[in-house]
């Protein structure tokens, strides 16, 4: 290596101090940006990847509990005649559907008086037997503090978020998602259930 090449090479060699200065400048410049990102993340709605189902849960989470979060195990759905026994989790999303059924979250808590409660599941898994349900069949919903009895008053196949459900009020509406490869892939099976009785569970 000639003298000129040596000088050129040494000109671009950085000392450890130079590297440390670069890191400090990078952190100083990016700290406000990091803070902004964290603030935006805190304000954004929870994403699917953030929801976890704790399969070790064997106690139902109270619906009015401060510990209620997406993925909380909040109810059991039973229809003895059709062999349906499904755990229900808070939040209607594919994470809940993977482990049972998902209870739609909205302004009022699920199973409140004066509102419909929507519970959705996959036709190929936990709601597989829902297609065999008929008018008059009985469903039981068990939560942490009460047992609610329902009777099926209607079933139909309709679009997702079908407007036909709007004529009902204070009902349990079970919704089954068909396989993408079936003839009803774009539709949903709706089972409308009317409350017949409710009792508080002894603690």
Write out the chain in H/E/C secondary structure: CCHHHHHHHHHCCCCHHHHHHHHHHHHHHHHHHHHHHHHHHHHCCCCHHHCCCCCCCCCCCCCCCCCCCCCCEEEEEEEHHHCEEEEEEECCCHHHHHHCEEECCCCCCCCCCCCCEEEEEECCCCCHHHHHCCCCCEEEEECCCEEEEEEEEEEEEEECCCHHHHHCCCEEEEEEECCCCCCCCCEEEEEEEEEEEEEECCC
All residues at 6 or more sequence positions from 166 whose CB lies less than 8 Å from its CB, including other chains: none
Tokens linked to 121: 């599941």
Tens digits of residue pLDDT in 94-131: 999 999 999 998 888 899 888 999 999 999 999 999 99
Contact by Cβ (8 Å): 135, 150: no
Q: Tell me what the pLDDT averaged over the chain comes to.
A: 81
**pLDDT for residue 38:** 40
- Evaluate if residue 47 carries a pLDDT over 70: no
Question: What is the rounded CA–CA span in Å between residue 30 and residue 35?
Answer: 9
**pLDDT for residue 177:** 96
**pLDDT for residue 42:** 38
Q: How many CA atoms lie within 13 A of 18 on its CB side?
A: 5
**pLDDT for residue 101:** 97
Confidence class of residue 1 from pLDDT cuts 50, 70 and 90?
low
């Amino acid at each position: 290596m000639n003298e000129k090449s040596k000088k050129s090479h040494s000109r671009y060699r950085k000392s450890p101090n130079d590297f440390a200065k670069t890191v400090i400048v990078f952190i100083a410049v990016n700290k406000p940006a990091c803070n902004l990102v964290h603030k935006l993340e805190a304000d954004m709605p929870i994403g699917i990847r953030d929801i976890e189902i704790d399969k070790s849960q064997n106690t139902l989470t109270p619906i009015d509990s401060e510990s209620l979060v997406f993925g909380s195990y909040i109810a059991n759905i039973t229809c003895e005649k059709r062999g349906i026994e499904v755990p229900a989790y808070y939040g209607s999303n594919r994470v809940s559907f993977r482990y049972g059924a998902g209870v739609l979250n909205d302004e009022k808590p699920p199973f409140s008086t004066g509102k419909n409660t929507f519970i959705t599941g996959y036709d190929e898994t936990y709601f597989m037997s829902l297609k065999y349900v008929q008018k008059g069949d009985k469903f039981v919903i068990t939560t942490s503090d009460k047992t609610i009895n329902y009777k099926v008053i209607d079933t139909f196949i309709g679009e997702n978020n079908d407007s036909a459900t709007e004529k009902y009020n204070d009902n349990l509406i079970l919704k089954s998602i068909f396989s993408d490869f079936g003839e009803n892939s774009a539709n949903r099976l709706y089972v409308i259930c009317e409350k017949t009785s409710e009792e508080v569970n002894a603690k």
